[in-house]
Amino acid sequence: MGSWRNSRTSSTKLLWVILPFMVVAVIIGVKKSNLVDRSKYNSFMGGSVNGYSSSVIKDDVAEGPVALGRRTTVVEGGGGGDDDVAEAPVEGGLFDRSFNSSYPPLGMVRMEDEMDVELPVVAKEDDSNVTLSGPDIFVSVNQTTVLPVGGEINRKYTSLDKLEARLGQVRAAIKEAESSNRTHDPDYIPEGPMYWNAASFHRSYLEMEKLFKVFVYEEGEPPIFHNGPCKSIYSMEGNFIYYMETTKFRTRNPEKAHTFFLPMSTTMMVRFIFERDPHVDHWRPMKQTVKDYVDLVGSKYPFWNRSLGADHFALSCHDWGPELSKAVPYLFKNSIRALCNANTSEGFNPSKDVSIPEIFLPDGTTRGILNGPSPRNRPLLAFFAGGVHGPIRPILLEHWQDKDPDIQVHKYLPKGVSYIGMLRQSKYCISPSGYEVASPRMVEALYTGCVPVLIKDHYVAPFSDVLNWKSFAVILSVEDIPNLKNILTGISTRQYLRMQRRGKQVRRHFEVNYPPKRYDVFHMILHSVWLRRLNIRIQGVADS
Ligand SMILES: *[C@@H]1O[C@H](CO)[C@@H](O)[C@H](O)[C@H]1NC(C)=O
Ligand SMILES: *[C@@H]1O[C@H](CO)[C@@H](O)[C@H](O)[C@H]1NC(C)=O
Ligand SMILES: *[C@@H]1O[C@H](CO)[C@@H](O)[C@H](O)[C@H]1NC(C)=O
Ligand SMILES: *[C@@H]1O[C@H](CO)[C@@H](O)[C@H](O)[C@H]1NC(C)=O
Ligand SMILES: *[C@@H]1O[C@H](CO)[C@@H](O)[C@H](O)[C@H]1NC(C)=O
Ligand SMILES: CC(=O)N[C@H]1CO[C@H](CO)[C@@H](O)[C@@H]1O
């Protein structure tokens, strides 16, 4: 049993796949400065995958999706009127049906105990359509696809089912949290309009702490795998991979895992195996690496095939992450992709993918970039400085560069002027999309106590499964740019102070700590993954 447990040879095989690319990369001297080459290439899709059988059931079928979003939260003010600014993601929908379970009291529940839980009665034939709806998000899943999979998996039926049963209880507990008393928490109790539903989030977070287990594949070698940048703009890749591998949420027993992490770094692939010859397909070596890795773990373990990747996740902050995920159609389509570039036009799907913040860490820490003065010591109305990338920034500069002393919009800051210093002097900090939707500016604003102004299209803001960005940020569309000053001055002082205060409160969710602290960015990313996992149900298949 479990022959995959002791076969480690395939990781060596993988090394042979990667090695030639690394050698080539070293020879042609891929320099770090080339990492920000933003040129776009046509996508390359590898061979199609055929003949997979599916055993994933979108759990909407049974109990409805877990969504902490509520559309009822109304934030006054907020500037831009009622424009449908919100590409920003409002996930609505709660459970539609009650789930009868005896939920065990809070406290540490060991996995062994969970094996005793009663299996829930799952109404598979019940095809009620459940919606998870925001303005643009509409998921309706009726069909139950259970196709036979390999015999080996049948034997794992029971432990998987028990694991799923436990998740069913969690779903019920999260739903109940809305109406029951809040649980004590020594560190932090989420509260306020920044949360779509603070009580549900809190419960969901506590359940995650008690239960969530992630299996991290050991295959693959650094620098591409088990490694990543911990500094600068793509710092979340290295930080997350490192802490995922050392956290208590990791399990070494895949039978006990709720999700499976593919520990690869897009930034490292770009650095080491980017094909620079302009006459050949630039994507090919990187996409081949992704595909080889998934093929490797998919052939060695039963888990990828079992869910067609739906309980697997990968994380990428680099701009090319979304494109590389296309190397494996099921990775793109089924897996949980945690991405900085949460661009819905590029296939980001908020009901299964996770938006993570891009956080610029100059020296790998948040030293010197946290905190800022109180609102009354912020003389400037609004500030932006940055390269004129992408479609939105030229419009911003055209209207506001050197136009008004209250609105400091610069291409580059004059020598001797501190960027962080400017953030700290400003009431509002503008965060427009550049080449890509993600930008570290939103987090920089939150870090320094400046109210972020998001001007982005097709963007799903980080943790918007939990956070209502409109309560602590101004969300504008490109058409609002000419009106920027009117809109910002139209926000009452009272409302501004509220947003500023809320921004300071949610800041903890974006902070990077060594080691991670509860409710910080590492745990919020993990929580978003947890929430996506709660919304699917993986089934083994009983013998026919
Ligand atoms: C829930 O369970 C209790 C006892 O286990 C039972 O009496 C009750 O009828 C159940 N409710 C529903 C809605 O199934
Ligand atoms: C979902 O089910 C309803 C009722 O059975 C049906 O009318 C609808 O077309 C189904 N939707 C999809 C996407 O299958
Ligand atoms: C909430 O707490 C109060 C006082 O501690 C208690 O009387 C009440 O029954 C509790 N409600 C629920 C739903 O647990
Ligand atoms: C998973 O499916 C692929 C493609 O059908 C197959 O090559 C591989 O051997 C399967 N893995 C396992 C563990 O059965
Ligand atoms: C988002 O994706 C679309 C479609 O690929 C692309 O046109 C756009 O440039 C991307 N980035 C931004 C910042 O919108
Ligand atoms: C059973 C159920 O919830 N059906 C709903 C399916 O969706 C339509 C509209 O989208 C609702 O009207 C039904 O009540």
- DSSP secondary structure, 104-123, as one string: PPSS---HHHHTTSPPP---
H helix runs in 29-132, sequence order: 111-114
2: left (phi over 0), alpha (psi -120 to 50) or beta: left
Predicted pLDDT at 55: 44
The whole-model pTM stands at 0.73
Ligand 3 geometric centre to CA of 202 (Å): 17
Q: Residue 454's closest CA among 496, 396, 414, 375?
A: 396
> Probe ligand 2: pick from 96, 128, 129, max atoms within 8 Å of CB?
129
Predicted pLDDT at 246: 96
d(CA 86, CA 470): 9
Closest ligand to residue 150's CA: 4
Residues with CB under 6 A from ligand 3: 180-181
> Probe ligand 2: pick from 130, 140, 145, max atoms within 8 Å of CB?
140
Task: Name beta bridge partners: 432.
Answer: 455
Which residue's CA lies nearest to atom 3 of ligand 3?
Answer: 181
Ligand 1 geometric centre to CA of 410 (Å): 64
With beta carbons less than 8 A apart as the criterion, state whether 408 and 382 touch: yes
Which residue's CA lies nearest to atom 1 of ligand 2?
Answer: 142
Closest ligand to residue 142's CA: 2
Predicted pLDDT at 182: 87
Ligand 5 geometric centre to CA of 317 (Å): 15
Closest ligand to residue 183's CA: 3
With beta carbons less than 8 A apart as the criterion, state whether 357 and 521 touch: yes
Predicted pLDDT at 277: 84
Predicted pLDDT at 66: 61
Predicted pLDDT at 86: 27
- Which is the closest atom of ligand 5 to the Cα of 434? 13
Give SS3 for 314.
strand
Ligand 6 geometric centre to CA of 129 (Å): 6
Ligand 3 geometric centre to CA of 181 (Å): 6
Closest ligand to residue 38's CA: 5
Closest ligand to residue 348's CA: 5
> Probe ligand 6: pick from 129, 133, 139, 142, max atoms within 8 Å of CB?
129
> E strands, 234-372, where?
250-251, 259-261, 312-316, 336-339, 354-355
Contacts of 269 (CB under 8 A, 6+ apart): 224, 286, 289, 290, 324
CATH 3.40.50.2000, the chain: domain bounds: 375-510
Which residue's CA lies nearest to atom 1 of ligand 3?
Answer: 181
Look up tokens 């010591």; give the residue.
377
Handedness of CA 498, 354, 177, 129 (dihedral sign): positive
Contacts of 197 (CB under 8 A, 6+ apart): 68, 69, 70, 94, 178
Residues with CB under 6 A from ligand 5: 343, 345-346, 390, 433, 436-437, 457-458
The b/e string for 362-377 (b: 16+ C-beta within 10 A; e otherwise) is eeeebeebeebeebee
Predicted pLDDT at 130: 27
Class of domain 375-510: alpha beta
Which residue's CA lies nearest to atom 7 of ligand 5?
Answer: 345
Q: Is any atom of ligand 4 closer than 6 Å to the C-beta of 489?
A: no
Low-confidence ranges of the chain (pLDDT < 50): 1-11, 23-63, 70-151, 153-154, 156, 542-544
- Which is the closest atom of ligand 4 to the Cα of 301? 13
Closest ligand to residue 127's CA: 2
Residue 105, preceding bond cis, omega within 30 degrees? no
Ligand 5 geometric centre to CA of 15 (Å): 34
> Probe ligand 6: pick from 60, 94, 128, 130, max atoms within 8 Å of CB?
128
Which residue's CA lies nearest to atom 11 of ligand 2?
Answer: 142
- Which is the closest atom of ligand 3 to the Cα of 179? 13
Closest ligand to residue 459's CA: 5
Mean pLDDT of the chain: 77
Copy the structure tokens of residue 439.
């930008």
Predicted pLDDT at 96: 22
Give SS3 for 350.
coil
Q: Residue 462's closest CA among 472, 476, 448?
A: 472
Which residue's CA lies nearest to atom 5 of ligand 2?
Answer: 127
> Probe ligand 5: pick from 436, 437, 458, 477, max atoms within 8 Å of CB?
458
Predicted pLDDT at 37: 33
Q: Is any atom of ligand 4 closer than 6 Å to the C-beta of 405?
A: no
